[in-house]
């Protein structure tokens, strides 16, 4: 730490020496030329520049030639490009989004005093005494440039560096340097020293695509700008002159030598003691790693979120607007889901299953927040997000929508009977004869709705869909948030349309909440960098399903995971409900299930729609994947129970 009495030098002793501001361009030019004359000792350079000014019409003409310079007052509303950040629901960073400039803004109060002192010491020790330019430094540099016949040495103050970065080109000419000086004086007349220093520290380049001190501190030392100690502050201040040359990521020896120069300058100015200098030199530097282009911890999630953000706010706002996005994702659940997908896929391959991909979507029924989303086995090998982009036939996992429609009509109960017997329907171009999974001779005769669903009988589902009305089934799906295209074809109850795993998980989440619905979302809240709310997806649940019909359906689906049910391999030894799905030719297998706290959909298949092999079912191959994830996700969660249908009035 800085010794007593020195820590506040920036805001007290030096500030007291600040001169009165100059108010016109003539004074600027006079100050510039007097510095040249003092440094040159009346040499030809001073005479030449004065003569040139006279030849151009004098100092008034000089001022007139710069009348089109930018109005520095625009900096009042200037907002530099800032990095956007995506977090999980607990505030853990998932990813950052930015264009060329990786930057996070810090106020002057959020920056360690050690860093401010170090920067001023090495870059412009007269910062608090000049008005934007230092005539003696300019004169010294001008004399050196005159001797070398060109612009080889600069004399920029912090204010001049700021206006150069914001307003001017980087060409090394006298006219550009004079414009820089004029703008610097104008900035000093409009802004306080603290405001100028804040803008400077947030705008300059610190190496490795880091713009601004907050981003630099996090990248180099894994801490915020306000947490920097003297040793770290000296390193960062030293980077400004040549960021890559002095980068600790590239040449630690150069870093230490440059750090020593900064500390020596601070000691010479008596801003630190010799003891503090030596302590800082000996202090270990716990160097971090570049963060500008770090990969997302959950790429399938961040891509979904980024796409929605761009649709709402535009790509420019997402990459440069410094927005803060709190997703609904629980990173712990996400990690569990990814582990389950990898482990299960390896196991399925060992069993000889010809399945290239597995996708999973998990939704909290209480909020309809997406808690985990895995779009494939390996993001590196394929970025296609099957959880939200791939519409695959759900097979029999679609049947609960048909059975709910029947129950909600008031004409059916779980005990209502249906005849599992041959049936045919005329369709364009022929006759449709639905069959059960066992083939053309597989019929069960009279059975209850509950039994037909637990055993996943196809013929009863088709008959039921026809009886209640396929348009009404589609209406129920739309109410539950399924937006994929649907047509009222006779095979609809068997899942002959395409849906996404996220749509299925969201719809079943409403079953799990006994009919309470909120819009499924992966984004909870979006704010700007100052905390102003841009988007708020706080749930506003509505009862959209009949409670009795929903509770009755859940009771039926609980039987699917019990002995005799098609999903018994998904049993997790707590109250759970679900439905298997297997499409014709074994191209897709599903298991979609839920407990009161979580609804999860699992799909297994091939991107090329090839069969996975004869006899492959959702109960044998998708249900175990679901079970693997749910056991992990529910390990520390209390056992909860579904409401009984007897609690509600029948429609």
Active site residues: 123, 396
Element (H, E) at 600: strand 598-605
Length in residues, the chain: 651
Contacts for 217-222 with beta carbons within 8 Å, 24 or more apart? 217/115, 218/104, 218/288, 218/291, 219/288, 219/289, 219/290, 219/291, 219/292, 220/248, 220/249, 220/287, 220/288, 221/285, 221/286, 221/287, 221/288, 222/286, 222/288
Q: Which residues, other chains included, contact 638 with Cβ-Cβ below 8 Å and sequence gap of 6+? A: none
Q: Are 592 and 505 in contact, with CB atoms under 8 Å apart? A: yes
Three-class DSSP labels, 485-534: CCCCCCCHHHCCCCECHHHHHHHHHHHHCCCEECCCECEEEEECCCCCEE
Distance, CA of 216 to chain centre:
19
Cα dihedral across residues 243, 246, 251, 256: positive or negative:
negative
CA dist 569 and 574 (Å) reads 13
Tokens representing 263?
Answer: 């500390």
Q: Determine phi and psi for 60, rounding to 5 degrees.
A: -65, -40
Neighbours of 585 (CB within 10 A): 12
CA dist 218 and 234 (Å) reads 15
Tokens representing 326?
Answer: 């709190």
State how far the alpha carbon of 58 is from the alpha carbons of 62, 64, 194, in Å.
6, 10, 35
DSSP state at residue 41? T
């Amino acid at each position: 730490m800085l010794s007593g009495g020195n820590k506040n030098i920036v805001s007290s002793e030096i500030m007291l020496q600040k001169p009165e501001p100059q108010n016109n361009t003539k004074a600027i030019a006079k100050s510039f030329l007097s510095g040249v004359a003092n440094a040159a000792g009346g040499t030809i350079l001073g005479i030449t520049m004065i003569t040139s000014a006279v030849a151009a019409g004098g100092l008034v003409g000089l001022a007139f030639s710069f009348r089109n310079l930018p109005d520095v007052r625009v900096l009042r509303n200037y907002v530099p490009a800032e990095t956007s950040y995506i977090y999980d629901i607990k505030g853990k960073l998932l990813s950052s989004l930015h264009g060329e400039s990786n930057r996070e803004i810090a106020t002057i109060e959020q920056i360690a005093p050690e860093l401010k002192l170090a920067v001023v010491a090495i870059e412009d020790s007269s910062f608090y005494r000049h008005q934007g330019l230092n005539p003696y430094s300019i004169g010294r540099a001008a004399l050196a440039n005159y001797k070398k016949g060109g612009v080889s040495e600069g004399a920029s103050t912090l204010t001049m560096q700021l206006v150069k970065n914001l307003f001017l080109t980087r060409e090394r000419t006298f006219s550009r340097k004079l414009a820089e000086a004029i703008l610097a004086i104008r900035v000093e007349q409009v802004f306080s020293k603290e405001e100028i220093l804040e803008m400077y520290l947030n705008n300059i380049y610190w190496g490795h695509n880091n713009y601004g001190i907050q981003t630099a501190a996090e990248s180099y030392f894994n801490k915020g700008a306000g947490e920097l100690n003297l040793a770290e502050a000296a390193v960062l201040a030293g980077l400004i002159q040549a960021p890559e040359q002095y980068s600790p990521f590239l040449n630690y020896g150069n870093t230490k030598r440059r750090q020593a120069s900064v500390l020596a300058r601070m000691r010479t100015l008596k801003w630190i003691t010799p003891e503090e200098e030596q302590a800082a030199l000996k202090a270990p530097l716990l160097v971090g790693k570049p963060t500008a282009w770090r990969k997302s911890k959950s790429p399938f999630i961040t891509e979904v979120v980024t796409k929605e953000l761009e649709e709402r706010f535009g790509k420019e706002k997402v990459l440069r607007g410094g927005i803060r996005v709190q997703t609904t994702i629980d990173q712990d659940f996400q990690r569990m889901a990814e582990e389950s997908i990898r482990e299960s896929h390896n196991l399925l391959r060992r069993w000889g299953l010809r399945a290239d991909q597995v996708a999973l979507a998990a939704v909290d029924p209480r909020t309809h927040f997406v808690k985990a989303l895995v779009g494939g086995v390996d993001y590196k090998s394929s970025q296609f997000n099957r959880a939200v982009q791939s519409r695959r036939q759900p097979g029999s996992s679609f049947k609960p929508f048909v059975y709910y429609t029947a129950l909600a009509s008031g004409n059916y109960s779980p005990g209502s009977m249906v005849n599992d017997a041959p049936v045919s329907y005329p369709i364009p171009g022929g006759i449709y004869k639905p069959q059960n999974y066992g083939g053309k001779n597989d019929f069960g005769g009279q059975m209850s709705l509950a039994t037909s669903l637990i055993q996943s009988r196809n013929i009863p589902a088709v008959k039921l869909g026809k009886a209640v009305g396929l348009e009404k089934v589609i209406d129920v799906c739309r109410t539950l948030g399924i937006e994929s295209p649907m047509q009222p074809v006779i095979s609809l109850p068997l899942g002959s349309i395409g849906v996404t795993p996220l749509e299925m998980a969201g719809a079943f989440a409403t079953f799990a909440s006994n009919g309470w619905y909120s819009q499924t979302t992966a984004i909870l809240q979006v704010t700007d960098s100052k905390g102003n709310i841009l988007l708020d997806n706080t749930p506003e649940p509505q009862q959209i399903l009949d409670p009795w019909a929903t509770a009755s359906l859940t009771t039926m689906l609980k039987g699917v995971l019990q002995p005799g049910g098609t999903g018994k391999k998904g049993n997790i030894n707590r109250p759970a409900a679900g439905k298997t799905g297997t499409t014709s030719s074994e191209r897709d297998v599903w298991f979609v299930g839920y407990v009161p706290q979580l609804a999860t959909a699992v799909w297994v298949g091939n991107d090329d729609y090839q069969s996975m092999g004869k006899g492959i079912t959702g109960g044998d191959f998708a249900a175990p994947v679901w079970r693997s994830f749910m056991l992990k996700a529910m390990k520390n969660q209390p056992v909860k129970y579904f409401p009984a249908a007897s609690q509600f009035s029948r429609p």
